[in-house]
A and B are shown apart, each in its own frame.
Chain A
């Protein structure tokens, strides 16, 4: 069955330079730097990436960072908490706009 997403394509991510090498090289260099140990540990960065992957709902990223967080020694509980952080921010982002709705309600109400 043909689908828009093919798990095998994830392995070919590194080949995007085939169509435009200089930009791909810059991106992958940057990507590598971002995920290196820094003020945040590589493990913390991986958990952030897992949460963001769920926010942007990228199946490739979810597969990649589920494996990566496990390879960084995280367990299911920690990974699910990271996803809840994403969900809380995402839900909160909707709810905080309720203040705009409330302001408008008050503005146009007697």
Chain B
């Protein structure tokens, strides 16, 4: 399996993705999401304030997950350079941002990852620093084996995808053998104190459905995950975040290939929840691409929809006022974040 980009797949073009999402193939053509939002008092969607800076360190990854909205994989070479990281550090230094969230790909595969983490910590020892770790990277190569110690040393909060507490469902989404490796990695993180009460070392898991259906209720599923992972593997963690799969990139390709596209979109639209829309993550987050450009969220980043700000479209031109006053770009993929209990990188939004 290769990334959509390496396959030269039509859906590796964000233009083609947006065109498809705006087509009338199941009666939700054009700017349907904007129209839905207009019925609430949320349109045009505006930020509340910038609390989270989510930085994508690159599309390179050791895994090739079937639902990946980044279209990440070993064949993707786009990674953030040190100069762009330095520009991010300037913003972190001069603006009080509560949370820095490092994502990818596998962010740890960026050769400057450790340097960047250390630099952030040197600027702000207290900032919440999240790394979205895919778990298997820890075992992928001896040079990554000490990552759990590195995370602990810098009091990094870990957010890791684990679609289920069994191998069948996990491997069907993330690749053969991923579940067993993830379990080993979780044990290594537990050994460092991650997910253990009283240590202050946070280990959160992320669940997203392995197919064309909606996620389960977060609290009930968290209890189920905790029981199963503790009983069978002796693993503990802090919280489970449930996330809805957004219809872009590889998940969109899967929906089309499996003839689930129309019914999935119908379900997302039917489940539109204004309360969930109020709490969407784009209202308090700025997403930074590997090349330094700014986006409303990671999904808009993958669709190459840069922030709607005249003078602050790149990290080097950071203008907090302009960013806070911008209108957030919404398209039909946004129905994924507003369905049911809502969905964000931190789980449900209601």
Contact = CB atoms under 8 A, between A and B. Distances in A.
B149 interface: no
B214 A75 contact: no
B289 interface: no
Taking residues whose C-beta sits less than 8 angstroms from the other chain, chain B's interface range is 10 to 19
Given A70-B209, A70-B211, A70-B213, A75 B169 contact: yes
A85 to B, nearest CB: 19
B216 interface: yes
Given A41-B220, A43-B220, A71 B169 contact: no
A104 to B, nearest CB: 47
Nearest to B270: A11
A62 B315 CA distance: 51
A71 B166 CA distance: 16
Q: Which of A72, A73, A77 has the most chain B CB atoms closer than 10 A to its own CB?
A: A73
Interface string B153-167: 000000000001010
B214 A71 contact: yes
B221 interface: yes
A71 B214 CA distance: 5
B122 interface: no
A76 B224 CA distance: 15
Interface in A46-91: 67, 70-73, 75-77
Contacts of B207: 73
A43 B218 CA distance: 12
B161 to A, nearest CB: 15
Nearest to B165: A75
Interface residues of A, number: 11
B104 interface: no
Interface in B212-253: 213-217, 220-221, 224
Contacts of A42: 217, 220
Q: B interface, by DSSP: helix, strand, loop or mixed?
A: loop
Interface in B186-228: 207, 209, 211, 213-217, 220-221, 224
Contacts of B209: 70-71
Contact of B168 (A41, A43, A67, A75): A75
A76 B220 contact: no
A75 B166 CA distance: 9
Contacts of B224: 43, 73
A77 B168 CA distance: 10
Nearest to A70: B213
A82 B164 CA distance: 19
B270 to A, nearest CB: 9
B216 A73 contact: yes
Interface string A2-43: 000000000000000000000000000000000000000111
A77 to B, nearest CB: 7
Nearest to A43: B220
Interface string B135-156: 0000000000000000000000
A12 to B, nearest CB: 13
A53 B220 CA distance: 24
Nearest to B340: A71
B213 A67 contact: yes
A35 to B, nearest CB: 13
Q: Which of B164, B215, B217, B221 has the most chain A CB atoms closer than 10 A to its own CB?
A: B217
22 contacts: A42-B217, A42-B220, A43-B216, A43-B220, A70-B211, A70-B213, A71-B209, A71-B213, A71-B214, A71-B216, A72-B216, A72-B220, A73-B207, A73-B215, A73-B221, A73-B224, A75-B164, A75-B168, A75-B169, A76-B169, A77-B166, A77-B168
For the complex of A and B, 6 pairs with smallest distance between CB atoms? A73-B216, A73-B221, A71-B214, A70-B213, A71-B213, A72-B216
Interface of A: 41-43, 67, 70-73, 75-77
Given A71-B213, A71-B215, A76-B168, 12 more contacts: A41-B220, A43-B216, A43-B220, A43-B224, A70-B211, A71-B214, A71-B216, A72-B216, A73-B224, A75-B164, A75-B169, A76-B169
